């Protein structure tokens, strides 16, 4: 049974002591494709180094995380965008809007997201979008691109079933992770509503560990627990869930299954 983790930050310092072992555990668990979203200029080199160590299993994205956006975002984007001349990326990400902590740079976040979606369209890449306390703003942004065909995934999806339908109608997949195993999460309802056709699985490691690992550092091998929960919700076998979501992830990122 092969699985794909479509969103993991295995290059972060939380994995400095056992990064290689974490990837090897994931491979042993059947997780042979791990997509790595970038955060900012500081995360770029560690991410690319990890992908160089595991070129058949780890695949990089390029982007500026919304919480890294400030008044200097244009220069930051220029530096990041230039790397496509020397490296291959599977997506533009992790980009988006995050209003959870504060709204100081909302204007800049919106501008940065628009620029990065434009960049994705120019380079024919999908977009991995982070949305926190900003679902309406995010859908307004996608609406502004209607007819131009941006595609991608709404990572760590936190909306309700109607939001999931909007995402699918806009050409996006829905990222399902550890929260699907939490009692108060809306992800279970979303999975029931849209089924496996429009979802991909993710860990968001080292964050959002699934039950029974909640409270511990997350890692890509734990995607098995997420896959099993999704299968249970839908009343199908874990093998079927794995097969469908694996194919979805390959299609999303243009990878060979």
Residue 245's domain is classified under what CATH number? 3.20.20.140
Strand partners, 175: 200
Q: What's the CA gap between 122 and 81, in Å, rounded? A: 11
Domain limits for position 196:
3-253
Structure-token match 């984007």, residue found: 77
Residue 28 is predicted with a pLDDT of: 98
What value does the mean pLDDT of the chain take? Answer: 98
Residue 128 is predicted with a pLDDT of: 99
The candidate with the shortest Cα–Cα distance to 248, out of 206, 202, 183, 213, is 202
Strands (E), the chain: 3-5, 31-36, 58-62, 91-98, 127-132, 152-155, 172-176, 199-201
Residue 2 is predicted with a pLDDT of: 98
Query: What is the model's pTM?
Result: 0.97
Residue 212 is predicted with a pLDDT of: 97
Q: How many domains does the chain have?
A: 1
Residue 46 is predicted with a pLDDT of: 98
| Distances 66 to 13, 88, 109, 130 between C-alpha atoms, Å | 20, 22, 6, 8
Residues of the chain where predicted confidence (pLDDT) is lower than 50: none
Q: What's the CA gap between 178 and 221, in Å, rounded? A: 12
Residue 68 is predicted with a pLDDT of: 98
Residue 122 is predicted with a pLDDT of: 98
Question: 204, 220 in Cβ contact below 8 A?
Answer: no
């Amino acid at each position: 049974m092969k699985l794909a983790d479509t969103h993991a930050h295995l290059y972060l310092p939380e994995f400095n002591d056992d990064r290689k072992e974490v990837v090897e555990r994931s491979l042993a668990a059947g997780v042979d494709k791990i997509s790595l979203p970038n955060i900012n200029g500081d995360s770029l080199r560690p991410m690319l180094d990890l992908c160089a160590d595991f070129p058949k299993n780890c695949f990089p994205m390029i982007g500026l995380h919304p919480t890294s956006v400030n008044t200097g975002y244009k220069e930051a984007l220029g530096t990041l965008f230039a790397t496509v001349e020397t490296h291959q990326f599977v997506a533009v990400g992790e980009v988006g809007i995050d209003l959870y902590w504060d709204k100081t740079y909302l204007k800049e976040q919106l501008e940065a997201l628009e620029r990065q979606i434009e960049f994705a369209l120019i380079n024919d890449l999908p977009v991995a979008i982070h949305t926190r306390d900003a679902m309406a703003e995010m859908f307004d942004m996608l609406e502004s691109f209607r007819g131009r065909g941006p595609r991608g995934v709404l990572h760590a999806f936190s909306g309700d079933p109607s939001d999931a339908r909007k995402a699918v109608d806009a050409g996006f997949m829905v990222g399902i992770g550890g929260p699907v195993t939490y009692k108060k999460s809306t992800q279970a309802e979303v999975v029931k509503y849209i089924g496996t056709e429009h979802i991909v699985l993710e860990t968001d490691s080292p964050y959002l560990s699934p039950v029974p690992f909640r409270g511990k550092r997350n890692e890509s091998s734990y995607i098995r627990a997420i896959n099993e929960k999704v299968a249970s919700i839908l009343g199908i076998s874990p093998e079927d869930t794995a097969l469908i979501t694996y194919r979805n992830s390959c299609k999303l990122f243009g990878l060979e299954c």
